[in-house]
């Protein structure tokens, strides 16, 4: 029977992961799973062991969201081992900690203008990356993995082959996003955005330049709840929020964001309270 380390190696070698997902999973395994479970055979891992591990992570001071991510990754590793025929035992029960980590913070248009202006002064590159996210709703990892072959300038689209939902996604480019793509146009195999020191080395995380720009604009001044802080992912929320406020149906926004279910997108529904009233008024007008 295999141990968790061997199952982890199988997981990495048999799953198609984006570079960002690969680095994220590897980092989480190395920091939070490997030392605790080193050499542990899968058939010996019981539900009681998972409960003890959960408490171990909480005792380390990790927040509930991080603990949930660690447990989810471990469960994926064991499930993958079972799929690959490396393990034929039962999968222990994983009781996930309750997490309320949904971010509702988005930028008002004036806030976005100020932030982009500050980013342009600090870094033209990160200004352009922020503009792209703000106008497409793309995640940081999706932007970092872009290559020339992903951009269709004739159709004005970006085609993402590996996404968080595992589905291909076609992203329409408005003029602002298209101008960024034209400015950074690369040959098919080349990374569009990369480390300044190496054109073959992608970014694996958002630069501190973005945080510095946010701080300089005072967007997080006095904010203690992390859910309300402006981070790079806020640009994606802003993209969705503006669309909903402008009257775009939730279903359309869901497709643009690449959500696996429209239920995930419904967090933005409160931003368009007039849509329901407009629908009801249409019925009324038909009866006059």
Please write the tens of the pLDDT for every residue from 155-191: 999 998 865 556 788 999 999 999 999 999 999 999 9
Q: What is the tens place of the pLDDT at every residue in 32-46?
A: 999 999 999 999 999
Q: pLDDT confidence of 102, banded at 50, 70, 90?
A: low
Residues in the chain: 288
Q: Would you kindly state where each structural domain of the chain is located, as residue ranges?
A: 4-83, 109-276
Helix (H, G, I), strand (E, B) or coil at 178: helix
Relative orientation angle of helices 208-217 and 109-122, to the nearest 10 degrees: 130
Where is pLDDT greater, at 255 or 103? 255
Q: Quick one: average pLDDT of 49-57? A: 95
Tell me how far the alpha carbon of residue 266 is from its chain's centroid.
17
Report how far apart, in Å, the C-alpha atoms of 138 and of each of 46, 132, 233 are.
39, 8, 9
- Cα(153)–Cα(182) distance, rounded to whole angstroms? 8
Q: Quick one: average pLDDT of 80-85? A: 94
H or E segment to which residue 158 belongs? strand 157-160
Report how far apart, in Å, the C-alpha atoms of 193 and of each of 2, 5, 18, 131, 204 are.
40, 33, 15, 13, 11
pLDDT at 101 over 90: no
Q: How is residue 266 annotated by DSSP?
A: G
Report how far apart, in Å, the C-alpha atoms of 221 and of each of 214, 215, 224, 225, 237 are.
9, 7, 9, 11, 19
Q: What is the tens place of the pLDDT at every residue in 197-240?
A: 888 888 988 999 999 999 999 999 998 887 789 999 999 999 98
Relative orientation angle of helices 109-122 and 124-136, to the nearest 10 degrees: 150
Q: What is the tens place of the pLDDT at every residue in 231-282?
A: 999 999 999 889 988 888 888 888 888 877 777 677 676 665 555 555 455 5
Q: Which CATH superfamily is domain 109-276 in?
A: Intergrase catalytic core (1.10.443.10)
- Strand 169-172 and strand 157-160: the pairing is antiparallel
pLDDT at 20 over 80: no
Angle at 101 between CA 238 and CA 80, to 5 degrees: 105
| Top mean-pLDDT range of 100-104, 115-119, 263-267 | 115-119
The answer to whether 187 and 148 have CB atoms below 8 angstroms apart is yes
The answer to whether 49 and 90 have CB atoms below 8 angstroms apart is no
H or E segment to which residue 171 belongs? strand 169-172
Per-residue pLDDT at 247? 85
Name which of 132, 122, 50, 54 is nearest 91 in CA terms.
50
Contacts of 95 (CB under 8 A, 6+ apart): 50, 51, 54
Quote the pTM value.
0.69
């Amino acid at each position: 029977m295999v141990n968790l380390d061997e199952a982890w190696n199988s997981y990495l070698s048999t799953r198609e992961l984006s570079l960002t997902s690969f680095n994220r999973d590897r980092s989480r395994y190395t920091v939070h799973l490997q030392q605790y479970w080193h050499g542990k055979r899968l058939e010996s891992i019981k539900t009681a062991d998972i409960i003890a591990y959960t408490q171990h992570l909480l005792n380390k001071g990790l927040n509930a969201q991080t603990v949930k991510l660690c447990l989810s990754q471990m469960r994926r590793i064991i499930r993958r081992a079972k799929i690959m025929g490396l393990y034929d035992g039962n999968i222990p029960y994983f009781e996930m900690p309750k997490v309320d980590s949904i971010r509702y913070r988005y930028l008002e248009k004036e806030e976005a203008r100020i932030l982009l202006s500050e980013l342009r002064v600090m870094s033209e590159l990160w200004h352009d990356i922020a503009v792209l996210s703000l106008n497409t709703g793309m995640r940081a990892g999706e932007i970092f993995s872009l290559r020339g072959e992903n951009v269709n300038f004739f159709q004005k689209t970006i085609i993402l082959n590996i996404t968080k939902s595992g589905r291909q996604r076609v992203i329409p480019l408005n003029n602002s996003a298209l101008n960024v793509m034209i400015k950074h146009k690369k040959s098919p195999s080349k990374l569009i955005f990369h480390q300044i020191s190496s054109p073959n080395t992608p970014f694996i995380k958002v630069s501190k330049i973005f945080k510095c720009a946010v701080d300089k604009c005072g967007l997080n001044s006095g904010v203690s709840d992390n859910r309300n802080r402006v981070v790079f992912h806020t640009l994606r929320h802003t993209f969705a929020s503006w669309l909903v406020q402008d009257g775009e149906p939730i279903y359309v926004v869901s497709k643009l964001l690449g959500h696996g279910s429209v239920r995930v997108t419904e967090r933005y529904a409160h931003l368009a309270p007039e849509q329901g009233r407009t629908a009801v008024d249409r019925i009324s007008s038909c009866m006059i």
